[in-house]
Structure 1
């Protein structure tokens, strides 16, 4: 598995030191390049470098493009492939080039910044609600009583059961996509929460109706995760950890149901409680 690397460590237990074989989650940089323009005048732009766990790289690239408002549908993509930089072998499978169709207009001024996304903090300099409004971030209509609140408890157990790589390394985040009955549809893992969500969106956005689906992520809820969920049109975002104040503000503004601190017997709803159906309703 490219996502796991073996290592030998020294384990200390009390005063006892002994060697032990262990496994690490792989973290490697990936550059996303965009090819665009007329057939006879194609241009290339490097739009992101992200630290990620290798695997599902094309989905990661597509999910990033969706989340940033660069594409709205996979039909706008002509091709997606790995490429090399000046033929250097060490960059194989670390550069992904996405070619959009010639008729697709790309906002050059919006790409002038060379994004740098880290596996821990998301996209630097991007965290503003005003920018998302300009990108056309959709408001998600609230359909009352969309799911029973007991489903939220159910999905927490399913995510843990399905998260295979984490069981080996302890070092990966997971993002799971669930239907309104709590059945898991897809799971992706990565060293970064936002990378895992991009992979999930890249894999599902053109194959599924996401208007009644749920995303569950390990860890905390950041602005970037809310952004990505909204841009995909998914109405409910759940996390094991806490949300930031800006994540809650963004979710409130665009109609997302935001749930945090999910445990076996309790969770907090920060926005959009109307989508939940309780037994006494």
Structure 2
């Protein structure tokens, strides 16, 4: 993770270590349901009073702090997608600006499906990934990335055990065997918008020619855990898809025609100049 350095030391208020924590992992404690204003000692320079009033009220699902000092290291927010130009999107930009000003890395996951318990699991995942990355590299002797570690999967097969979507992929196979899906394969793609978030898509064919689709956007300002943000966004989309596959009340009307989905992928591919790293999924555009 990128160090917050002296900026964070100047502006971020420690959370008392006696405060009940939502999670404890890898030398960190996670505190749930905090407001950004609780963490910042005064209005940072370059932020107007109106901007600070709005950003200070921003809710953070988990604030992850050093276990020994209570100093915030990063924050996580899960939210439903908001349209460009909306008041909610403007508030997010103000929150980003304040987090940048005080040196607080912010991870934002935009999904209509994910939230609740997935927040804690996601934080545990990125903490484990960061701890693994800190022990690897030229001096650590390991070359396999955290996301690429192979082991035994939930369905007994061997594969990448640190794929957040592994359970969903196993559930899809079981649902296919039980006759609830037309195809057992969870497919997906990911891109990274230049200067913006990573975006992951995941889908499975529920009825012949009809797909359930989930999309997740991941903004990871000032934070790295050693897993490519695009792959992480796609894995989160697969996780969201798994939640919908387990939901008996999932709306049949929300299924997307396979032909329309292919057209959406093609339209995304047409914007490849806007992606950091290009577009690696042209095979999904073919009939």
Q: Which of 1 and 2 has higher RCO (CA within 8 Å, sep 6+)?
A: 1
TM-score, length-normalised on structure 2?
0.28
TM-score, length-normalised on structure 1?
0.29
